Amino acid sequence: MGDLVVVTALRIERFALRRGLGDVPVIAVGLGVRHPSRLSLPPGACLVVAGVGGALVDGIAPGDLVVDDLSLAMSLRANGFPVHHGEVALSDHLVGPSERSELALHTGALAVDMESARVLALAGDRPHAVVRAIVDTPSRALLGPATLGGGVAALRRLAAIGPVLRHWAESQVKEVQQ
C-alpha cells in the first residue's frame, strides 16, 4: 500500500503497529530520532508518527490515544477508541512528574514524546498525523509499579488501530487527488 508510511521509535512499537497494518511500511527510527535526515519517505504517501507517549494533563488514562489530526481523531473515536485531540510536545528526555504541568502550560500539549516533531519536519506538505498511546500520566509516573500495565494497554491499543490508520490515509490521498 503506497498511501501510508508509519514511523515509530522503538521496535516493540513497530511490532505492535504492524499487527493491524498488513503491507504498510512501519519504520522504527530509534529513540529521539538522532538522524531524521536518514529517513526517506516515498512521495505522496501520508505519514503517521505513532507509538507510546506520556500524558501531560489529568483526564487521560493509560491506553488512551492522543491524536493531533482532528479527522483521524474523529475516525478513531467513531471506531470506539478513547481519543483525546490535541498537540504532542517534543522533549529530548523522559519527562518527570515535576516537569509535566510546566510543559503542558508552555506548549498547550496533551502529551509528550521524543520523536514526532523531528519526523514531522520531513513531512513537507503531505498529509500527516501523530498518534500516541499513553503509558504514563501525571498521577501514574513512568518509573513506577503501574508502568507495566500502562505499557501493555498502550501497545494493545497500537496493535488495534491499524485499519483506521489505513482508512484515514486512503481518504487523505483521495482528498488531495480531487
Name the pLDDT band for 121 (thresholds 50, 70, 90): confident
Q: Which residue spans within 9-69 are E strands per DSSP?
A: 26-28, 46-55, 65-67
The CATH number that domain 4-177 falls under is 3.40.50.1580
Residue with cell 512528574: 97
Determine the Cα–Cα distance for residues 18 and 39; give it in Å rounded to an integer.
18
What is the per-residue pLDDT for 108?
93
Residue 126, C-beta contacts closer than 8 angstroms, at least 6 positions apart? 41, 44, 45, 46, 47
Residue ranges per structural domain of the chain: 4-177
What is the per-residue pLDDT for 1?
45
pTM (predicted TM-score): 0.91
